[in-house]
Structure 1
Amino acid sequence: MKIVTRVKLMPEAGQAAALRSTLRTANEAANWVSAVAFERGVPREYELRKHTYTELKAWGLGAQAAQHVIKKTRDAYTALKANIKAGNLGKPGSKRRTKAESKPITFRPEAAQPYDDRCLSWQYDQQTVSVWSVAGRLRNVRFACSPDALKTLREHRKGESDLIERDGVFYLIAVCDIPEPEVYEPSGFIGVDLGIVNIATTSTGYRAAGRGLNRHRKRQLDLRKKLQAKGTKSAKRLLKKRSRKEARHIADVNHVISKTIVTAAERTGSGIALEDLTGIRSRVRLRKDQRNSLHSWSFHQLGRCIEYKAKRAGVPLVYVDPAYTSRQCSECGHIDRRNRVDQATFACRACGALMHADDNASRNIGRKGETLWAAGRESRVPATP
């Protein structure tokens, strides 16, 4: 499996200026390549290279850097096409889709620039890198990371690395190819019900309450409103300083929750069943005062965290259809909309079972996971010759 490891660069003043100039030059060149691609109907990478490679070399880009600029521009158009095909930008004729299709893709001045082993080399013992720049090769650029991250880089780094600048700080994001352990045969499945009031509830009784996270989001939103209304230079500096603070906090919470769930499954020899919530934001209709909570809900990030941690541990994971998991009784199987009394209470109209609604849903999800795994296991049995 492929994961990314991020290290922080600590360049000297001259090195930082060269890296900053490199990113701006590469992204300015990418914008020009994007305009050429858009004008010519987004040709294939080889054909696009014939129209742009010589000019990119004249900009001061090295051979490999020019190739990467062309490739990342073509990849951006491939991603745009995939998003349009999947309907992520709306229906044909919608304002958002029309805007995306009517102009070339643009890159921010500090957007990521890919590097391969020809223009970036790592010295793990010294914790330095040697990196190409428009000012020449920069040697002995120091980097910092945790001991675990350094071990992962040393043993598993493979492929390209991306140089980015964020709030004046440079980072290298390296791809590491880690071997996946063999998935074991689970003794059962832990159902995970995802929500906003409770971030995650498992069929084993673990519940990650969302009250603290929702309060944090509310504080950040109120503070942003006050600073934006104030509009002074100091307020804008503080807004910039606090940018992405909420996202970092949410990511940390999701990592802690996902690690707890995967560790419990690994310890008990169980699998994990998650709800497939794809497209839920477009399906659900809410009042205006509830929309912010729904669109701030990071269920996808939490699901990805659980997924990659499960792969690293060899824990089986399946995605199940969430239909009726909140209305069906986990005791008798009776489905009734009235079973869900309120957000927190489930009371079965048939057997009288009374329990927390999220506990009931997680048990239903776990049971669906067992059924899905059994069906998949049977389908993988080779046919008799």
Structure 2
Amino acid sequence: MKIVVSVKLQPTLEVASALRDELHGCNQGANWVSEVAYATYRLKAREYALRKLVYTELRERGIKSAAAQQLIKKVVDAYTTLRANIKAGNLGPEGSKRRVKAESKPIVFREDAAQAYDHRNMGWDIDAQTVAITTRTGRMKGIPFVCSPEALKTLAQYRKGEADLLCCDGSWYVIATCDVPEPEVYKPDGFIGVDLGIENIATTSTGYQAAGRKLNRYRKRQLFLRQKLQKKGTKSAKRLLKKRSRKEARHVKNTNHIVSKTIVTEAERTGRGICLEELKGIRNRVRLRKPQRVALHSWSFAQLGDFIVYKAKRAGVPLVFVNAAYTSQMCCECQHIDKCNRVDQGLFTCRGCGVVAHADRNASHNLAQRGETVWNAGRESRVPATRSQV
């Protein structure tokens, strides 16, 4: 399993200047390569053919060989992603304003966008906690970095492949790729159903409930401040908008990390598996009133799901996805399905057997039952083969 570890560099002013020159030069080169690729191949750029056109010019611009190769690959990957998004319909149907805008001009990279490095132009000294990076002005050796003890241990044992150099708000980071082996998945003693929602971030069939009230109030406050800044429209207001956007994203990410770790730890401790509901495409399916759309589109269920998946893999916890249809309308005791069973957001009253329960708790029990059914249907059969009689 591939995970990433972020370390913060602590360069001197001279080294920081060299890194900034390297990053700006690489991204300026990437913009030029993108223009060439668009003019020659439109959206169908191929790495080998593009390299023959632009490599010599990039070297003349002072970009080192390995950085030039990575730069070309970055441009080709960007166009590959754009084609995939167009094909998947993520940019709208053919002729839509958003799709036409994306197809009508070359891809542009920010001057401080991340640049990939590998063993040819980046070296690591884990014991000394330093890195060496090749820039346009020479090799910068002994750049100290800081990270948590757990991240340092992961780097020392599993670091493999490329790393990205990134500048964010004047601070320098290296995002390293680590190939962590996955432990063997154990045989689960039942499943924990996890119902994801907006009012309650996550509700499990074992009783854990991560309330979303605090996070929702925080988002509403950020929305109010964002509207004020957008109305102002000045340069400083736009700068603050970017800053607040990143701050909100970090807050939500931290909350999702805490919730996902709690769920996976509980499953590992009790020897159970985890069952998640498949919510892909829910924003296209659900129709809501305008005041509710902001809450739906700021709901980070996919990020929380991804965190649970990778934490479960690292712990060897079995995990399945099931169809979420009717889980909020079906009684977990008698399986009676009725739209009227869901009295309101938090109350479930079965019209068949009379069971009264919390709506999200009831849905989580339904998910746990479906998860066990899916697991039993998909696991390897242990029945011995019968002998044929002649």
Q: 1:131 aligns with which of 126, 130, 133?
A: 133
Q: Name 1:246's counterpart in structure 2.
A: 248
Q: Name 1:66's counterpart in structure 2.
A: 68
TM superposition shift of 1:43: 3.2
Cα pair distance change 1:382/1:111, threshold 3 Å: farther
TM superposition shift of 1:113: 0.3
Q: Which runs of 5 or more structure 1 residues have no equivalent in the other structure?
A: none
Distance 1:231 1:104 in 2: 27
How many residue pairs are counted as aligned between the two chains? 385
Distance 1:380 1:28 in 2: 60
Q: 2:331 aligns with which of 317, 329, 332?
A: 329
Taking structure 1 as the reference length, the TM-score comes to 0.96
TM superposition shift of 1:237: 5.5
Cα pair distance change 1:380/1:323, threshold 3 Å: farther
1:117 aligns with 2:119: yes
Cα pair distance change 1:103/1:153, threshold 3 Å: same
**Structure 2 counterpart of 1:35, which letter?**
E
TM superposition shift of 1:326: 0.7
- In the TM superposition, what are the counterparts of 1:293-332 in structure 2 within 5 Å? 293-332=295-334
Cα pair distance change 1:108/1:321, threshold 3 Å: same
**Structure 2 counterpart of 1:10, which letter?**
Q
Q: Name 2:21's counterpart in structure 1.
A: 21
Output one character per residue of 1:140-169: Cα deviation in whole Å (capped at 9) or x when no partner: 111111111111111110000000111111
Aligned-partner SS, 1:93: coil
**Structure 1 range deviating more: 75-84 or 291-300:** 75-84
Q: Name 1:32's counterpart in structure 2.
A: 32
Output one character per residue of 1:23-82: Cα deviation in whole Å (capped at 9) or x when no partner: 111111111111111122233211111111111111111111110000011111111112
**Structure 1 range deviating more: 89-98 or 18-27:** 89-98
Q: Name 1:102's counterpart in structure 2.
A: 104
Aligned-partner SS, 1:275: strand
Distance 1:380 1:17 in 2: 64
Q: Name 1:287's counterpart in structure 2.
A: 289
Distance 2:100 2:45 in 1: 20
1:161 aligns with 2:145: no
Q: Name 2:149's counterpart in structure 1.
A: 147
Q: Name 1:11's counterpart in structure 2.
A: 11
Q: Name 1:207's counterpart in structure 2.
A: 209
TM superposition shift of 1:96: 1.5
**Structure 2 counterpart of 1:5, which letter?**
V
Distance 1:215 1:209 in 2: 11
Distance 2:342 2:360 in 1: 10
Q: Name 1:47's counterpart in structure 2.
A: 49
TM superposition shift of 1:223: 2.1
Q: 1:219 aligns with which of 218, 221, 227?
A: 221
Aligned-partner SS, 2:135: coil
Instruction: Report if the CA contact (8 A) 2:3-2:178 is conserved.
Output: yes
**Structure 1 counterpart of 2:21, which letter?**
S
Distance 2:74 2:137 in 1: 22
Distance 1:36 1:300 in 2: 36
Distance 1:274 1:88 in 2: 24
Cα pair distance change 1:383/1:308, threshold 3 Å: farther
Distance 1:75 1:187 in 2: 43
Q: Which runs of 5 or more structure 2 residues have no equivalent in the other structure?
A: none
- In the TM superposition, what are the counterparts of 1:259-298 in structure 2 within 5 Å? 259-298=261-300
Cα pair distance change 1:271/1:242, threshold 3 Å: same
TM superposition shift of 1:225: 2.6
**Structure 2 counterpart of 1:44, which letter?**
R
TM superposition shift of 1:123: 1.2
Instruction: Report if the CA contact (8 A) 2:45-2:79 is conserved.
Output: no
TM superposition shift of 1:379: 7.5
Cα pair distance change 1:75/1:15, threshold 3 Å: same
**Structure 1 range deviating more: 29-38 or 303-312:** 29-38
Identity, in percent, stands at 66
TM superposition shift of 1:116: 0.2
Distance 1:304 1:236 in 2: 31
Over the residues paired in the alignment, what is the CA RMSD in angstroms? 1.9
Q: Name 1:182's counterpart in structure 2.
A: 184
Q: Name 1:360's counterpart in structure 2.
A: 362
**Structure 2 counterpart of 1:165, which letter?**
C
